Every structure is written in structure tokens, then in C-alpha cells.
Chain A
Amino acid sequence: MTYSGNKRGTLAGSLTLATMLACGVAMADQKEVRVYNWSDYIDEEILTEFTKETGIKVVYDVFDSNEILETKLLAGGSGYDVVVPTGQFLARQIQAGVFQKLDKSKLPNISNMWPEVSNRVAVYDPGNEYAVDYMWGTTGLGYNEAKIKERLPDVPTDSFDLLFKPENAAKLKDCGIMVLDSATDVLPVILQYLGLDPNSKAQADLEKAAAVLEAIRPNIQKFHSSEYINALANGDICIAFGWSGDILQAASRAEEAKNGHTIHYSLPKEGTQMWFDMLAVPKDAPHVEEAHAFINFLMKPEVIAKASNYISYANGNLASQKFIDESILKDGAIYPDEATLKKLFVLLPYDAKTQRSVTRLWTKIVTGQ
């Protein structure tokens, strides 16, 4: 008994060892792709499906601002294979030599992309050589239905007048206003609101835009680029100038919490910025092959539709639209109609000098110094 038991033990032991060795070999051999994407920006099932289909393991990290991503990329050796910068940032990073050209022969699904989006992003990436669109959206107003109605019953919510007219902003002060802390996202939209060229680099134009903000500045509780999501959802503020997806996220959080707050996103009729988050592969990516496989997988219509259905953002994939939930596809705040689409503008990156003067102007607006 003892003997056989012992023997079995040995056998089991050697089996375990063999399995471990096999696993070790498999692990060394297992292909992986390291993805660096925005937080709360994918349905995680997609990652599991990708691994199931291709056998490539996904290491998935998240960031919450373009600046953080850009700093990692510019420092070099980030170790990521697929990153997701926004258009203007992508353009500058291409200039800095951060990315490699995509090998289109490995991206057969690229035929599913939406020309409307591909043409627009060509200003950042001429010829669409370095990147493909993941999601896109707009910047606009998020507001608390009841609180706005109570204070400004006659003011339409589909215009930037709601926030940018000082008399309106003054009435909203007590319930709370937040604005993105990002010069490049806010000032061009105000230029458009004033009927000026949103891409203007003229100091005089920029100062006119700054004046609009300075007039309502005393009524703004805070300039911040992420706090408004929770603040809107919890009813701590009643209006925010922010990104479409974030505001829609606040709306669904409020709905889930059943706290009595109804949040809406308004895409103002004056027109606003259309931004694009782009999939790109750094030059020093350790797994180029796998990066292409991942991007190609994301361009499958049913896969990217699943992502859009989960995060409520529009994507740049035309073929995916038949898989997108009606409630999202028909929502003008996410997929604007033809006429609204025409009013949306694309931002070009600033050169270093304009960037500095814009940031300086912004600091003056925000801190009063």
C-alpha cells in the first residue's frame, strides 16, 4: 500500500512537473499584445474573445488623459503595442516620429471603415497611414433637466447661450457649473460660437474667446476634465461643458443610482468640436504583428458595435452600424444627423508657440493671473 501510494505520488509529481514545464514553454511562446487605452472605454468581453480567436494574450492598461499618454510616448520605450491618442495629439506625435506606418495588408477589415470619419481624420494623419479611428464624439453641454428647468424655464438647451450668456450663467451659479480644464477643447468651440474660425491662431480672436469665458468666470465652480462626471451624476452641479461620452456616462450613472437626477447631453446647434480617438502602433512596439491583429479584430463590424453598445460612443466603422443598438444609433447626441454633422469642425494641432500662448491665456482665465 505504502509503496504503491508512494509510487502514485511520484507519478503525480512528475506529471505536475511536466505540466509546469509545458506551461512554461507555452507561456514563453504565448503571443501577447499590450494595449494602452482610455479608462472605461471597452467591453472587456471583447478582449477575451480576441484571445479565444487568436490565442494572443491581451495586457490591457488604461489612462485618463492625452497628456499622460503623450508624456509616456515622448519619453520613449513605453512598451505598448497599441495606443489610443486623440486626433490633434496623434498629429503632433506622428511629427515627433512616435508611430510606425500601419501595414494595410494585415488589416483587411479596414474596408469596413466610414469614409466620413476617415476623411476627417486625414487632417491629422494624411492618407490614413498611421492610425484608424476607434471612437469619436463631440464636446457639448451636459445638464440636469429639473434644475435647469427650474432656473431657466424659457432658455432652449440646444444652444451654447445656455452657458455662455452671462445672465444665464449667473442663474446657474448656485446649482454649480463645471468646464473642461483644457484650453484646446474649450477655446475653439467658443470661437465657433462667436462665428470665428475655430482653428484661428490669431491672438485677437483667442482673446475674444477668452473674454466670453471671463464674463462667466465668477459663476464657474471649477475647471476640471473628469470630476464633472460624478458631480453631474450626483447632482452636485447642474451643468457641465464636457465630452459627449463622459456626459452620457454621467447620465447612465444617475439612472442606475435612481437618485432622481436626469442628465442629458446637448449637442448645441452652433456646432462644436468633433474629436477622434485613434488606434496607432508606436515605432518601438515589441509586438507589431499582434498589434495589427488586434486592430484588425477591432475593425470587425460586430466587435466594434459591441464596444459602442457598451460605452455609448459612436465609432468610425460604417459596416458596424447595423449591429448597433437602435437607442444609440438613433440618438442624435451620439450619431448626429447629416445637417448637424456638417456643423461639426475638426481641430488642428497648435504649434509649440501658439500652444504656449493659448495655455498662458487659459491660466489667466482659470486662475485670474
Chain B
Amino acid sequence: MRRWFVILVPYLWLLVFFLIPFFIVFKISLSDIATAIPPYTPTFSITDIGGFFSQLDFENYTFIFQDSLYIGAYFSALKIAFFSTILTLLIAYPIAYGMARAPREWQPTLVMLVILPFWTSFLIRVYAWIGILKKEGLLNLFLMNLGLISEPLTIMNTNTAVYIGIVYSYLPFMILPLYASLEKINPALLEAAADLGSPPWKSFWQVTFPLSIPGVLAGCFLVFIPATGEFVIPDLLGGSETLMIGKTLWNEFFNNRDWPVSSAVAVVLLLVLVVPIVLFQRNQEKQREAGR
């Protein structure tokens, strides 16, 4: 009985907070836009179930595949998410490595420092970057005072600013799983490698890195998946040419008031992300099995 309950809770959670909302969104994506409350038709009615279903169609999906805007926005979002994931990995790895090699008694403090930014609202931290990156901002003032540049750099409102924003915001999500897998590596393995004459860089590539791959994968998925649908960072830091699917979805929903098309965009976005999500799940399971 108790076992059933334990199994039931997560499934119930998924049902109520994922599956049902998804079906509502999916249903709206098959409707048509209307000037009414709510702004789509048909609305579900128990009395006329047949009529309700006959009015649903896939028109909105054909629409988003006919206009290059949407496909362009998906690709652009995937591209930005992909490169920011790689950048985040490159920055996070040395940090996590340093943390894992630090004296034992420092490590809780270091983990704490990584988590610390979460105590400030995400939105405020992104706003703070505006102050740093803008033309008369801190970064430009600093570089100009050092005499490294004579003209202020235009970083704000470009894709560069979006990359900086994403890398900054998602860095902890990369560092923590990396640290978790690096910290588990038995130092005796490296000693053994050294005893057998392996130089440190070779031990890193042949021992440390392969053992940290589960952490690398977990971190990459944790960054890549949310970064693809990111809206706040490109809106605040990006320029007008920054095209991302999150922003396109926002436009459909708020500017065009087209709930059906924006729902279709959301469903397709989910389908696009199903592949990395499934891979992530597999990776997690593999790790769990390996841990057993």
C-alpha cells in the first residue's frame, strides 16, 4: 500500500502539473482565434462534444511551417542555446575542478558561494548586466580608464550580451553537477596514473575527464534545455536582431493575441526539446544504475 502511494505521488504530480496543462495547450493549438473571452473558439462543452471535436484542426501547425519566421526563430534559439552551453561548460569546468581539488573544509563554503546569487532575483541580476554592459556602463568605463580601448564597445543590445547573460545566469547549473561528479573521483586513481608515469595533462584526459562525463552531460542539458526557450535575457540584453523562439511566442500571444498559434509554437518547441530531454533522462538513469 505504502509503496503504491510512493509511486503514485510523482505520477500524480506529473499528471496535474504537466500532462493536463499540456493537453489544454494542445487543445488550444487546434482552435481558431476569436474576439471573445477566452480569445479562441471552440470552447469545450459537455453537451456538444461531437461538434467541439469537429471544429478542431491542425491549421495553425501548417501556418507556422509555411512562414520561415518560426523555423528561423527555432534554429536561432537552438544555435544560441548550443553555443552558450559550450561557453558555460568551458568556464564552469575549471571552476568545478578547482572546487573539487580545494581543501575539504573549504568545499561547503565554495558550494555556498556558487548558490549565493540565487538569493537575488534573477530579473534584477539580468538588469544589473545592463548597467555593466551599456555604452556608459561599468565595463566600458573600466576598459577606457585602463587605456585598453579609446571608444566605448557596443555590447549591450547585441547577441554578445545575450551570450554573456545566458552564460552568467546558467553557470551554477553547470558547476554543481560537474563538481558533484569531479568530487567523487578517487584521488588514488590519479596517484596510480602518476606512479605509472603518466604526465598530469594525460591523466586529466584519460582519467579525470572520462569520469566526469556524467556531470558534463547533466550540466549541458540543464543549461541547454531552459536556454532554448529563454525570453527574459534576449528581451532585456539582446538587440532587435536577436531572434529567439521565446520572444516569437511572446509576440504571438501578446501582440497578435493569437492564443491558438502561440500554443502551436509552444507545442512544437516542446517537441523540439523532447530529444534532449529524453537523452537527459537516459543519462540520469544510466548514472543511477552505475551508482548501484
Contact B35 A96 (CB under 8 A): yes
Q: A87: CB under 8 A from chain B?
A: no
Q: A359: CB under 8 A from chain B?
A: yes
**Could you tell me which residues of chain A, from 56 to 90, have a CB within 8 Å of some CB in chain B?**
65, 67-68, 70-71, 73-76
Nearest CB of B to A168, in Å: 20
Q: Which of A38-46, A146-154, A203-211, A360-368 contacts B (4 or more CB under 8 A)?
A: A360-368
Contact B136 A96 (CB under 8 A): no
Contact A176 B135 (CB under 8 A): yes
Q: A201: CB under 8 A from chain B?
A: no
Contact A221 B67 (CB under 8 A): no
Contact B37 A363 (CB under 8 A): no
Using CB atoms, name the residue of chain B closest to A68.
B254
Q: B207: CB under 8 A from chain A?
A: no
Nearest CB of A to B209, in Å: 39
Contact A76 B69 (CB under 8 A): no
Taking chain A's interface residues, is the majority helix, strand, or loop, or is none over half, making it mixed?
helix
Number of A-B contacts (CB under 8 A): 75
A359 proximity list for chain B (CB < 8 A): 251, 255-256
B253 proximity list for chain A (CB < 8 A): 71
A96 proximity list for chain B (CB < 8 A): 35-37, 39
Nearest CB of B to A182, in Å: 8
Compute how far the CA of A294 lies from the CA of B75 in the bound complex, rounded to whole angstroms: 50
Question: Given A97-B37, A236-B135, does the pair A369, B240 have CB atoms closer than 8 Å?
Answer: no
Using CB atoms, name the residue of chain A closest to B242.
A367
Compute how far the CA of A368 lies from the CA of B241 in the bound complex, rounded to whole angstroms: 7
Contact B68 A369 (CB under 8 A): yes
Max chain B Cβ within 10 angstroms of own Cβ: one of A96, A221, A223, A369: A369
Question: Given A220-B240, A359-B255, does the pair A75, B134 have CB atoms closer than 8 Å?
Answer: no
**Could you tell me which residues of chain B, from 258 to 288, have a CB within 8 Å of some CB in chain A?**
258
B257 proximity list for chain A (CB < 8 A): 67, 70-71, 74, 352, 355
Contact with A along B130-173 (1 / 0, CB 8 A): 00001110000000000000000000010000000000000000
Q: B226: CB under 8 A from chain A?
A: no
A76 proximity list for chain B (CB < 8 A): 37-38
Contact B241 A221 (CB under 8 A): no
Contact A235 B136 (CB under 8 A): yes
Compute how far the CA of A74 lies from the CA of B239 in the bound complex, rounded to whole angstroms: 30
Q: B227: CB under 8 A from chain A?
A: no
A183 proximity list for chain B (CB < 8 A): 255
Can you list 16 A-B pairs, Cβ within 8 angstroms, ordered by A? A67-B254, A67-B257, A74-B37, A75-B37, A92-B35, A96-B35, A97-B36, A182-B255, A220-B240, A223-B240, A236-B134, A352-B257, A356-B258, A364-B69, A366-B240, A367-B242
Which of B's residues lie within 8 Å of A, judged by CB? 33, 35-39, 67-69, 72-73, 134-136, 157, 239-243, 248, 251, 253-258
Ranked nearest first, the 3 interchain pairs of A and B with the lowest CB-CB distance are A67-B254, A76-B37, A74-B39
Known A71-B253, A183-B255; further 9 A-B contacts with Cβ < 8 A = A70-B257, A96-B37, A97-B36, A181-B240, A235-B136, A352-B256, A352-B257, A360-B67, A369-B72
